[in-house]
Amino acid sequence: MGWEELVGPIFEALRHGARGTVADYRVMGSAWGFDLSDIRTKCELWQGEEDTLLPISHAKRLAEGLPGAKLRLVRGAGHFLLRSHSSEFFALVASR
């Protein structure tokens, strides 16, 4: 992955300012208005084992709070694991 591929989406997201990003972080850091345990839809969470942006402990806590959730730790993948595992991910989504 080249530098432009890595930072290009970040620059595009911030092209009109950081207000949207700030609002996202505000929402993520505040009460969501529901308990994770109330969600009954099965889900699969993917987390790269080499992710340096989001600790695995966060994904584990999220999976523990969601009844029926499955946490898939992807060996050798980082935060942008969808780039290297997109065909596998979309095959899984299409099969459901």
> 61 and 37 in contact (C-beta within 8 Å)?
no
Burial profile 66-81: b = 16 or more Cβ within 10 angstroms, e = fewer: beebebeebeebbeeb
Asked whether residue 75 carries a pLDDT value surpassing 90, the answer given is yes
Q: Report the pLDDT averaged over residues 18-43.
A: 90
* pLDDT band, very low/low/confident/very high, at 39 (cuts 50, 70, 90): very high
Q: Report the pLDDT averaged over residues 55-67.
A: 94
Q: What is the rounded average pLDDT for all residues in the chain?
A: 89
Its pTM stands at 0.70
* pLDDT band, very low/low/confident/very high, at 1 (cuts 50, 70, 90): low
* pLDDT band, very low/low/confident/very high, at 82 (cuts 50, 70, 90): confident
Determine the Cα–Cα distance for residues 48 and 35; give it in Å rounded to an integer: 25
Q: Report the pLDDT averaged over residues 22-35.
A: 89
Determine the Cα–Cα distance for residues 62 and 53; give it in Å rounded to an integer: 16
> 74 and 49 in contact (C-beta within 8 Å)?
yes
